[in-house]
Structure 1
Amino acid sequence: MGFPHYNDNIDLDSSYEFDSCIDIDFSLDSDISFNLDVTKDICVNVDIDGNEASFAIDVQAFGHDTSVDLNVVAVVMEGEWSSVTATGYAAAG
């Protein structure tokens, strides 16, 4: 089945015009003032008649993406014992 047409020269003229204008303006004005004044006076007088356990922790990791975590628990049972537990990590990738 065919459809008859009487013009073998099809002339199609088409155009599409599009204009767009997008203006974006971001502005942030911030005025931060911070004043921290800490005065501390700590006086500790402990007469240790027994034993002592001391420790120092220095863990380092070098890289671009870093993470650190430190958990410390200190317990004192007066006249009986004292304990410090520290866990954590330093990581870098």
Structure 2
Amino acid sequence: MTQAGTLTRADLAESLHRQVGLSRADSARFVEQILDKMCGALADGENVKISGFGTFVLRDKGERIGRNPKTGVEVPIAPRRVLTFRASQMMRDRIVGAG
């Protein structure tokens, strides 16, 4: 990994290069294609499920009233779409086991 605790696209491509034997350029292109496919599906309103890893889920949040913590003034919060990630049970077991 390039930074402490951060896995980057370049790290994924380098891992593909080493473990699968693809060229560095093909590995980088492969990683980009996967990420583009995932982004496209999410942009189209689809959830993305990767078996054994987890699910990226889109949720629509309705309008609500929030409060400015400094002033206490109530302000409306506009409806929006949010992206959440839910780790698979296998992933959760691996994370708990690693800690």
Give TM-score, length-normalised by structure 1.
0.22
Give the structure, 1 or 2, with the largest relative contact order (CA under 8 Å, sep 6 or more). Answer: 1
Greater share of residues in helix: 2
Larger Rg: 1
